[in-house]
Structure 1
Amino acid sequence: MSLYRTELRRLTKRRFTRWAALAGVLVLLAVLVGVFLTNHKIGPAEQARAERQAEQQYQEQVRWAEQERTACVQAQAAGTPNDGRFPPDCQMITPPPRDAFQAQWFLPSTFDFRKGFDEMLVPFTAILALVGFVVGASFVGAEWSTGGMMNLLLWRPKRLTVLLTKLAALLTGLLTLVLTSAVVWTVGFWLVGTFRGTTAKTTSGAWQSFALTGLRGLLLVLTAATIGFALASLGRHTAMALGGAIALVVVGQFGVGILLSMANVKFVEAWLLPTYALAWMQKKVTLENWESCNNVSYSGECKPETLDITWQHSSTLLIGALVVLLGAALWTMRRRDIS
């Protein structure tokens, strides 16, 4: 019997794999339903209601300006101090222009498929990456903790072949899950745009952009699964990967973030992993340091110092982590005794 088919069957038959995949799919469906329920189709009635609300806000500002101007004139006539409440010339108190009150501010939330779908690929990737990490760690970690790996090596004594075949089966299963979920995710949000928003201007260029973002998301999910697999293989237990992930989040993220903030380090987010994951998905994340205003114009406008984190930085980090952890797992698999 083929070792690859055996491992693939073992992966799909594991109850933990099924429950983890089901939990991930249910969370994705909950997000999809939530977006559907919180958005609305914009029609003439909604547009007219928004115009009325904008006009109402404008009229309120006009009345407020008239009241303030009257109070200013009365205060000047009585000679009472205004403590800086009124300007020297009461005629300076005027309402904002009518075009400052735009009807679009009062429109209900609506889903624009062309603008919003690319952003919705970020939570899609995050949820499936978490599922991939946990399933990858459990798939090999359970083999070590139950003694299944030792029994398998009696049948197939080639250690690296066995470990890499398990990894190939894991990635194949996740690839199927991601591609299937991506089709449902895309169709679901197309329906959201159709019934609760708009799908206008979704050109071939937009679809190409979605495909590239989805491809980066797929690579991130597979990388997360491989890292979980490698950590569990290094520790020969699922808890090694899960404990390492918890330590990284609690100590490496929150702890480092708090310490760097206390030390007034610029661009604290540049030291946090979620920033690089987001930069990988969005191609670039711009960090701003509002503590320092380097280019202050004569009008007093503050332009904060910025730092760009690009997908190239993220790819270097991901590839480095993947090579180090997977390489260490393969090295220990070859060198250490199986007991």
Structure 2
Amino acid sequence: MSLYKAETRRLVKRRFTKLFTVGALLILVAVAAGVFLTNHKAGPDQIAEATAKAQADYKQSVAGTEQMKKDCAAVQGTSRANEFPPNCEIAAPSESDFNPDWYMPPTFNLKESFRDMVTTMAAVLALAAFVVGASYVGAEWNSGGMMNLLLWRPRRLQVLSTKLAALLVGATLLTVVVAALWTAAFYGIASARGTTAGMTSGVWQSIGLMELRALALVLTAGALGFGLASLGRHTAMALGVAIGVIVVFQFGVGAVLEIADAKFPELYLAPFWVIAWMNKQYIAENYNACNYDVTGSCQPDTLTMTWQMAGTGLIAILVLVVGAAMWTMRKRDIT
């Protein structure tokens, strides 16, 4: 049996891989079920009901305004007069203030909402890939399996890179299958509990490219978990770094930047780079430096974080971590 087949088999057969993968899939199933149950198809009955509610609230508001005017007129010349506007100038509500669309039940719009679902899928699968990748190689170091493997296959870099290749191929297959099922599931949800209007070929192409970026994010997360665990020769190394980055660096640095009134604190926080990568851009705004227009409205300074910027950052971190893991594999003692 080839080394790649052996590593693929070892990855797939591990109980931790199975359990964590199933757990991630159950989370996605729960998300899809929640979206299905909380959305409704907007038909003639729902439109009529929403219109009736809007009209009822409008009439109630008009009646309330008339009563307020009467109360105002009744207390003129008393100490309570200052409780009302001068001369009882109370504006009556407009019928346009009660839009029936605001009374419609939630409905799933595939064109407008599915991109958020792709990001959700990418986040869940990326987390699973990171933990599985870290555990996969970390367990080998911790149990002594790596040393035993190198006894009959002493090519260190080949062994480690083959393990990484098995992980990335497995993550690719899983992500592609899940993305296809995810897309089909939400198309069905939109058909039954929402709308698929506006799904042109261009929109589908945009969604396809977004799912490719989701795949890249999942593979990057898996490789980072693998590289960090290999560097520390223990699963806890990768998990510790992840916790440290999230708890200490992200929250700590975020709090310091807020106190210091940093211009664009999002630039130093990883979640916003992921958002920029998935959504093609993220616009950071600085309301502390308002540029007032002719209407007196605040126009904050902005900085656009593009997917190219985010991708460059992800590649740099990936090359640094995986490259360091390969270098230490070659230079450090195995014992």
| In structure 2, C-alpha distance between the alignment counterparts of 1:300 and 1:75, rounded to whole Å | 38
1:12 counterpart = 2:12: yes
Percent identity between the aligned chains?
A: 52
User: Of the candidates 225, 229, 248, which is equivalent to residue 222 of structure 2?
Assistant: 225
Describe how 1:1-339 pairs up with structure 2 within 5 A: 1-76=1-76, 78=77, 80=79, 82-83=81-82, 85-90=83-88, 92-292=89-289, 294-339=290-335
Question: TM-score of the superposition, structure 1-length normalised?
Answer: 0.95
CA distance in 1, matches of 2:119, 2:51: 34
Q: Secondary structure at the match of 1:290?
A: strand
In the alignment, the residues of structure 2 paired with residue 64 and residue 268 of structure 1 have an alpha-carbon distance, to the nearest angstrom, of: 46
Distance 1:89 1:297 in 2: 34
Equivalenced residue count is 335
Alignment gaps of 5+ in structure 1: none
After TM superposition, the structure 1 stretch with the greater mean CA deviation from structure 2, 318-327 or 52-61, is: 52-61
CA RMSD of aligned residues (A): 1.5
The answer for unaligned runs of 5 or more in structure 2 is: none
Partner Cα distance (1:60, 1:127) in 2: 46
Distance 2:146 2:261 in 1: 49
CA-CA distance at 1:298 after TM superposition: 4.7
Distance between the aligned counterparts of 2:41 and 2:222, measured in 1? 39
Q: Distance in 2 between matches of 1:159 and 1:280?
A: 34
Which segment drifts farther, 281-290 or 246-255? Answer: 281-290
Code of the aligned partner of 1:222: L
Moved more, 28-37 or 191-200: 191-200
Deviations 1:211-230 (A, max 9, x none): 00000000000000000000
Q: Secondary structure, in 3 states, of the residue corresponding to 2:86?
A: coil
1:291/1:61 Cα in 2 relative to 1: closer, same or farther (>3 Å)? farther
For residue 287 of structure 1, give the secondary structure of its aligned residue in structure 2: strand
Shift >6 Å, 4+ stretches: none
Query: Could you tell me how far apart the structure 2 residues matched to 1:270 and 1:131 are?
Result: 25
Measure how far apart 1:80 and its partner are: 4.1
* TM-score using structure 2 length: 0.96
SS at match of 1:333: helix
1:323 & 1:203 partners in 2: Cα distance?
38
1:295 partner SS: strand
Structure 2 CA distance for aligned equivalents of residues 69 and 289 of structure 1: 43
Q: Secondary structure of 1:96's partner?
A: coil
- Please state how far the C-alpha of 1:261 moved relative to its aligned partner: 1.7
